[in-house]
Structure 1
């Protein structure tokens, strides 16, 4: 899948990527966020015997499906489409690029520990990709979105896709140099619809120069995706952040519903 995506396999043209700028050109972006209780997410997780990651991915699938359904409905001539009416075309290929750190020892380590001979704590990150498909469809039961994403993520966990893509990129970097490796990475990202990250933040409240931090909302700028989704847990809260291209997603608050 990684090789095919690099060479020719592109996602379906949808309202989430039809406004993408030309390659190498970054347009204005908007950033919106929403904070919810982490206890609510844990309640679903425990009831369905899944993980927090499964739940937030299910929430993302539900949001993407409903947002695209609304956008396709608005494009119809009769203008009578509602969110309950299925306006989605069939067989939409929509994938998210998940960037993962595959180094054996994760977390933060002291400098002295990293400099010890034979230490498992290595310098830097080892970045691999996972291409996660989203089955865009309307579901009567909202929990079906979580069930679908759990099944997809479970398959990906057994595929070792992140390790394989890391070794491919590392081999290309050693054989052909950084410019070719960067071109390869850009091709993969540019042929998918969105990028997704889910980070475990501090469990307790932290402060910055004595000022307590109420919430943390991470995001990035410069990627070719018209939509990027971030989840970060912090102090028993979960913050969802959308980074959107203004031309692609002119109404980001609607996508946040």
Structure 2
């Protein structure tokens, strides 16, 4: 291997497997029309200095098929595309959706670095222009990508400063003094260790069963074989992050708990409506008049967890300046299987409480770490094809995937233009539905990648997710759980 080559990581090689060939499609909405020359100049000063953005993915057949990244010179004209569009077109939102869907069906050219940019100077309902980044997932995971984006950005309020990512506040532990306190801490530590071991054994056993035989119930959104090659639609919805924070503070849960609860509630609404329509058309047996959902559905989501701490924006900016990775890049992800209860609830808050209980339990499990270690061993001992078959079995036997990426808490200027929203999604995923949640400033962007055949109305699913959040918000307000809002009756 030459000096300008770097070996590809095991996960990057896995994401190049034919049955698991993933591409990130990131829609960036801007407040202004795009000045193409300025945009290209900013790309040259930032993104092109990143080693992955200027490297070819190479398979060296003479070296037993080892894969590597080889540095090369980048010609922006081969990566940045600006179609000539009618600014007064009748349905710009539909055009952007159709353009994105068409883009997902065109493979990337391996004769050049695996990314490209499409600038659409057309006004939509959420922005005055849209830029679509298509990037092969082997270049990096979600945390790496959002960190890279922010390293290329500046604060809108302070054009000379890099954005600052929110940091978790360390929890203050109350220490008990004396013998009683020592015994109490010892008991708690032993109990936590027991729970971690117990939960890990259960989770690993269920994960193994999922690979071998344990399948989710068949539902209208459960994909079958070759679903990764099925045509997809990519839609998004921009909602208020303040509504999510209101529920979070009122119920004393995390934003992830609220998002997972909203997902469960929205999917329950969507599937209940779908089963009702089937029943009305005579395709289903007669059920209860009010609720058409089958009972006891096994419905699980594969959740993508990042195992790497979020890189510092300053470190990434320095990395691009030096054009060295320094171990801060790549795909360091693992899977966790989360069960969802698909049922119409009289109390919408039950979805959030159940989500919190599920997430709290998963935090006391080493499932993510063990899955990651086993996956690396599979690749090393048996090769990419075997690992791809195993991972594919997990996705084929579950129903959907969920991912949540935290963005900057304030508005930014990205590649020379003020940014409205970030809507990332993925193509080539071996499931019929992938839901991404992306925060940006005071917004939460819901992004769906949906199989056109199984989910012909993804906008309805967006409506159901948004309405579910609204129902949960109204319930906590009516019950007086939000400070400053009186109780306005019962629910």
Assess, with a 3 A threshold, how the Cα gap between structure 1 residues 102 and 194 changes in structure 2: closer, same or farther. same
Question: Structure 2 matches for 1:126-141, cutoff 5 A?
Answer: 126-141=332-347
- Give yes or no for contact 2:299–2:398 (8 Å, CA) kept in 1: yes
In 2, the alpha carbon distance for the partners of 1:133 and 1:25 equals 22
Per the TM alignment, residue 149 of structure 1 is displaced from its structure 2 partner at its CA by: 0.7
Higher relative contact order (CA 8 A, sep 6+): 1
Assess, with a 3 A threshold, how the Cα gap between structure 1 residues 40 and 90 changes in structure 2: closer, same or farther. same
Q: RMSD in angstroms over aligned alpha carbons? A: 2.3
What residue is the counterpart of 2:449 in the other structure? Answer: 243
In 1, the alpha carbon distance for the partners of 2:413 and 2:376 equals 38
Number of aligned residue pairs: 248
Structure 1 counterpart SS, 2:219: coil
Task: Tell me if 1:154 matches 2:360.
Answer: yes
Task: Tell me if 1:256 matches 2:462.
Answer: yes
- Which residue of 215, 230, 244 maps to 1:41? 244
In 2, the alpha carbon distance for the partners of 1:208 and 1:25 equals 32
Task: Tell me if 1:91 matches 2:296.
Answer: yes
Looking at secondary structure, tell me which structure has more helix per residue.
2
Structure 2 counterpart SS, 1:216: strand
What residue is the counterpart of 2:38 in the other structure? Answer: none
Of stretches 68-77 and 38-47 in structure 1, the one that deviates more from structure 2 is 68-77
Of stretches 48-57 and 180-189 in structure 1, the one that deviates more from structure 2 is 180-189
Question: Structure 2 matches for 1:124-203, cutoff 5 A?
Answer: 124-203=330-409
Structure 1 residues not aligned, in runs of 5+: 116-120
What residue is the counterpart of 1:213 in the other structure? Answer: 419
Structure 2 residues not aligned, in runs of 5+: 1-205, 464-491
Task: Tell me if 1:68 matches 2:258.
Answer: no
- Give yes or no for contact 2:238–2:445 (8 Å, CA) kept in 1: yes
What residue is the counterpart of 1:224 in the other structure? Answer: 430
- Give yes or no for contact 1:21–1:27 (8 Å, CA) kept in 2: no
In 2, the alpha carbon distance for the partners of 1:85 and 1:251 equals 22
Task: Tell me if 1:107 matches 2:317.
Answer: no
What residue is the counterpart of 1:118 in the other structure? Answer: none
What residue is the counterpart of 1:9 in the other structure? Answer: 214
In 2, the alpha carbon distance for the partners of 1:169 and 1:2 equals 12
Of stretches 170-179 and 225-234 in structure 1, the one that deviates more from structure 2 is 170-179
In 2, the alpha carbon distance for the partners of 1:78 and 1:177 equals 48
Structure 1 runs (4+) deviating above 6 angstroms are none
Normalising by structure 2, we get a TM-score of 0.48
Structure 2 counterpart SS, 1:92: coil
Per the TM alignment, residue 114 of structure 1 is displaced from its structure 2 partner at its CA by: 6.5
